């Protein structure tokens, strides 16, 4: 374990967290809705880790929409009891949020701005019709583009973003889009996924896609459903220390996975003759 800076002054900690997004109204704190940040703040206050979210400067590395999941999201907070935070946070969190690692960080650390890039994966619910066409089209996204047609643009936000890497991967888990960039716009990955699915189905051409990437469109691309989207990784140079996920919490997640798999099988059988 890295040297503890002390228990009397405020210490800034980063945690690597994961969550199942299905039961959350997004990650960002909303006082009247169940959110990832809201559950984390409540857990920290129950454990005496923080007194309130503003003084602790609780922050996440990115905002995920309602129903979107995370394998690697970064949480940062300031606390006078870092040992307690490291030891107790996982046990206070609900079953659909977990902590996998921690690190000491400078007091100025921002999980939103002090990261090098983010990787998302989008898993398509069914095998696309034309994976080679999707791969050809995906290459068009690499580099700097105007994503006005592929995102919900908030006031004051630039629609210009740079895609560092993108791939369509087909393996035993199905077909997925994997995309890496320093930052993303609201709904951007889901809109990219939807456009590539349209390419596969022949309802969108490469020429139309290129025009959209220049920021010219009559109608924006509608985002794909959130269920298949995972914030897969947030890339940093932090010195992470692993926190094992308890057997009870891991067991609950596996049990829920099995139940959902069974439910999908039953739904499909209801349509048979």
- Report the C-alpha gap between 256 and 241 in whole angstroms: 28
H or E stretch covering 242: strand 241-242
In whole angstroms, give the CA distance from residue 88 to residue 82: 10
Q: Which of 32, 65, 227, 239 is catalytic?
A: 65
Reply yes or no on whether 136 is catalytic: no
DSSP β-bridge partners for residue 161? 145
Measuring CA to CA, which residue among 175, 35, 39, 10 is closest to residue 106?
10
Instruction: Tell me how far the alpha carbon of residue 254 is from its chain's centroid.
Output: 20
> What count of Cα atoms within 13 Å lies in the side-chain half-sphere of residue 23?
9
Structure tokens at 38: 């809201």
Cβ atoms of 43 and 92 closer than 8 Å: yes
Instruction: Please name the residue that has the structure tokens 């139940």.
Output: 259
Q: For residues 240 and 14, give the distance between their C-alpha atoms in angstroms, rounded to a whole number.
A: 9
Measured CA to CA in angstroms, residue 41 lies from 9, 18, 48, 207 at distances of 20, 15, 10, 47
78: helix, strand or coil: strand
**Rg, C-alpha atoms of the chain:** 20
Q: Which tokens go with 63? A: 């905002």
Residues marked active site are found at 65
């Amino acid at each position: 374990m890295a040297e503890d800076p002390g228990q009397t002054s405020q210490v800034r900690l980063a945690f690597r967290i994961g969550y199942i997004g299905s039961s959350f109204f997004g990650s960002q704190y909303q006082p009247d809705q169940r959110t990832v940040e809201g559950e984390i703040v409540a857990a920290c206050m129950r454990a005496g880790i923080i007194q309130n979210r503003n003084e602790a400067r609780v922050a996440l590395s990115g905002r995920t929409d309602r129903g979107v999941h995370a394998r690697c999201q970064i949480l940062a907070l300031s606390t006078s009891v870092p040992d307690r935070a490291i030891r107790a946070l996982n046990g206070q969190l609900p079953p659909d949020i977990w902590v996998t690692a921690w690190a000491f960080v400078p007091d100025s650390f921002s999980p939103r701005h002090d990261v090098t890039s983010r990787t998302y994966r989008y898993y398509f619910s069914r095998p696309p019709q034309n994976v080679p066409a999707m791969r050809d089209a995906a290459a068009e996204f690499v580099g700097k583009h105007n994503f006005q047609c592929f995102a919900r643009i908030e006031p004051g936000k630039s629609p210009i973003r740079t895609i560092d890497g993108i791939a369509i991967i087909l393996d035993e888990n199905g077909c997925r889009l994997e995309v890496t960039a320093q930052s993303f716009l609201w709904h951007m990955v889901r809109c990219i996924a939807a456009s590539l699915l349209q390419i596969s189905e022949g309802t969108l051409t490469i020429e139309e896609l290129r025009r959209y990437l220049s920021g010219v469109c009559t109608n924006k691309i509608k985002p794909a459903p959130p269920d298949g989207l995972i914030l897969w990784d947030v890339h940093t140079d932090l010195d992470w220390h692993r926190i094992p996920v308890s057997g009870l919490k891991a067991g609950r997640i596996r049990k829920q996975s099995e139940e959902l798999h069974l439910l999908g099988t039953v739904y499909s059988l209801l349509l048979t003759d």
